[in-house]
Amino acid sequence: MSHSDRRLSQTDRTRHRRLREQGSEDRADLDAILSAGFVCHLGVRVDGDVLVVPTVYGSDGTTLYLHGSVASRSVVAAPEETVCVTVTHVDGLVLARSVFEHGVNYRSAMVFGTPRLVTDPQEKLAGLRCLTEQAAPGQWGYARQPSRKELAATSLLALSLDEASVKIRTGAPDDGDGPDARLGLWAGVLPLHARWGDLEPDPALPTGVEPPPHLTGRQGTPAS
Amino acid sequence: MSHSDRRLSQTDRTRHRRLREQGSEDRADLDAILSAGFVCHLGVRVDGDVLVVPTVYGSDGTTLYLHGSVASRSVVAAPEETVCVTVTHVDGLVLARSVFEHGVNYRSAMVFGTPRLVTDPQEKLAGLRCLTEQAAPGQWGYARQPSRKELAATSLLALSLDEASVKIRTGAPDDGDGPDARLGLWAGVLPLHARWGDLEPDPALPTGVEPPPHLTGRQGTPAS
């Protein structure tokens, strides 16, 4: 997909078959969902079994970067397989008049493709930087950067965002204009918020070492 | 696994190969992780591709229940396949002295098995009740329960908890006693909290319909 095309591509894997009203083909929705998080679920076949592994990711808008130990089974298997990477934000419970209409407000992106193992040293550093900065903005420049040995112990996977699917549900329950509306029951949404807490210093830290502003500024802010 | 055995079974799929210090074989950890959430990621093969689908679940301590439309591809494929269901709670960012030691505090459970399609009407109702009450305790008795037609439109899958794997990371970074501790950098944890917000009434609701105590009591409480 070119950057000028702001619609997501339609393939057999990404076409919305059900609940089409929750499907989005807007590239901006994909970018927003990926930007709002840093943990995905990587689905990959390993030795014939499906594994779904939570792992950290970074997105530069074109490519999703995933990393892991060179010894990780899922990371080793991924470059030979079509994988599915899913990022989900749960925004609240949809409390309808009927149990059947209950649901979840959420934003979710699924990315399909065969990851590429990144071997070029410059691209590997850039990908790890993208991944680190997505989870902890400011830390790449603040913390000690990877040594050659540490880089060698880390596998970096690059997955194109060309084939992706987005689903979003927002707002009130759907049975406000149906026969159940006459039951006199309360209905609405119980929102779920993810928020960063207060920094917890490492007990091993010498006294007098203060956290940098890029960390203190995150305390109490929304996390997805 | 019998209930008297409080250790998780060891199989080729559940054995911890790497980061063994993060692996738990305590059945109570599995139960606690499953009880703390209501959205999982279901990994299943559909038409040769791996799909990772976020979906609601309920656990009664022995069985994990998943549901979906009878038309859902993942739900239709699941009873013929070994699936992997993963539940993850992200608890914070681990901010080490080196980028390499950065990580995430989390609790994660992976359940493996071939789901069974529940056809017995009584078990189906009980499973849907378990699933509804896990996400929204009190709503099964408050909202209108499923009609025969609604039950027929819903597929319920039952997945045994016999084969499961748990990983947990808590606490400070691991490089507090290494050479990087001399760099003078701040290190610690930025916690991530999930919390229920304030109820948002359906705009279609007539005035004077108040939310029940099982919903108002949840406002502002921790969500995982």
**How high is the pLDDT of residue A17?**
65
A179: pLDDT strictly greater than 80: yes
B199: pLDDT strictly greater than 70: yes
Q: Which amino acid is at A105?
A: N
Minimal CA separation from B108 to chain A, in Å = 8
| Number of structural domains chain B divides into | 1
**How high is the pLDDT of residue A101?**
96
Q: CA A91 to CA A106: how far, in whole Å? A: 5
A186: pLDDT strictly greater than 60: yes
Q: Considering chain A, what is the average pLDDT of its residues? A: 91
**How high is the pLDDT of residue A216?**
98
For residues B168-195, give the mean pLDDT.
96
* ipTM (interface predicted TM): 0.93
For residues A189-196, give the mean pLDDT.
98
For residues B112-120, give the mean pLDDT.
95
Shared domain check, A40 and A148: yes
pLDDT band at B219 (very low <50, low <70, confident <90, very high): very high
B77: pLDDT strictly greater than 80: no
> Is residue A8 in a domain?
no
Of B81, B102, B212, the CB nearest to A143: B102
Check A102 against B128: CB less than 8 A apart. Answer: no
> Is residue B199 in a domain?
no
For residues A131-152, give the mean pLDDT.
96
**How high is the pLDDT of residue A3?**
39
For residues B54-79, give the mean pLDDT.
87
Q: Which residues pair with B17 in a beta bridge?
A: none
Q: Considering chain B, what is the average pLDDT of its residues? A: 92
**How high is the pLDDT of residue A23?**
83
**How high is the pLDDT of residue A2?**
35
Shared domain check, A222 and A185: no
Residues B1-54: pLDDT tens digits? 333 456 777 777 777 766 667 788 889 999 999 999 999 999 999 988 999 999
Check B42 against A52: CB less than 8 A apart. Answer: yes
Instruction: Answer for the pair A166, A25: CB distance below 8 angstroms, yes or no.
Output: yes
Minimal CA separation from B211 to chain A, in Å = 5
Q: CA B153 to CA A10: how far, in whole Å? A: 27
**How high is the pLDDT of residue B1?**
33
E strand or H helix that includes residue B41: strand B39-46
State the Cα angle at A75 between A70 and A78, rounded to 5°. 140
DSSP letters of A25-39? -BHHHHHHHHHT-SE
Shared domain check, A208 and A181: no
**Nearest residue in A to B173, CA atom:** A202
Q: Of A20-29, A160-169, B111-120, B183-192, which gets the smallest average pLDDT?
A: A20-29
Of B39, B69, B140, the CB nearest to A104: B39
> Is residue A5 in a domain?
no
For residues B104-124, give the mean pLDDT.
96
Check B154 against A195: CB less than 8 A apart. Answer: no
B83: pLDDT strictly greater than 60: yes
Shared domain check, A165 and A76: yes
> Is residue A1 in a domain?
no
Shared domain check, A184 and A209: no
Of A61, A67, A82, A52, whose CA–CA distance to A146 is shortest?
Answer: A67
Minimal CA separation from B76 to chain A, in Å = 13
Instruction: Answer for the pair A42, A52: CB distance below 8 angstroms, yes or no.
Output: yes
> Is residue B203 in a domain?
no
Instruction: Answer for the pair A13, B49: CB distance below 8 angstroms, yes or no.
Output: yes
CATH number at residue B168: 2.30.110.10
What is the phi-psi region of residue A19: left when phi exceeds 0, alpha when psi lies from -120 to 50, beta otherwise? left
Minimal CA separation from A9 to chain B, in Å = 17
Shared domain check, A78 and A170: yes
Of B72, B136, B223, the CB nearest to A102: B136
> Is residue B201 in a domain?
no
Tokens representing B112 are 């493996």
Check B146 against A69: CB less than 8 A apart. Answer: no
Q: Indicate the DSSP class of residue A14.
A: T
Q: Which amino acid is at A39?
A: V
Check A104 against B17: CB less than 8 A apart. Answer: no
**How high is the pLDDT of residue A18?**
62
For residues B211-217, give the mean pLDDT.
98
pLDDT band at A4 (very low <50, low <70, confident <90, very high): very low
Check B192 against A190: CB less than 8 A apart. Answer: no
Q: CA A197 to CA B223: how far, in whole Å? A: 14
> Is residue A107 in a domain?
yes
For residues A159-182, give the mean pLDDT.
95
Report the range out of A8-17, A92-101, B19-28 with the highest average pLDDT.
A92-101
For residues A64-79, give the mean pLDDT.
81
pLDDT band at A20 (very low <50, low <70, confident <90, very high): low
Shared domain check, A214 and A180: no
Instruction: Answer for the pair B26, B16: CB distance below 8 angstroms, yes or no.
Output: no
**How high is the pLDDT of residue B6?**
65
User: Considering only CB atoms, which chain A residues are within 8 Å of B97?
Assistant: 143-144
Instruction: Answer for the pair B39, A194: CB distance below 8 angstroms, yes or no.
Output: no
Shared domain check, A214 and A171: no
B91: pLDDT strictly greater than 90: yes
For residues A101-115, give the mean pLDDT.
97
Check A43 against B39: CB less than 8 A apart. Answer: no
> Is residue A3 in a domain?
no
Q: What residues make up the domain containing A36?
A: 20-192
3 state SS of A108: strand
**How high is the pLDDT of residue B15?**
73
Residues A38-67: pLDDT tens digits? 999 999 999 889 999 999 999 999 999 999
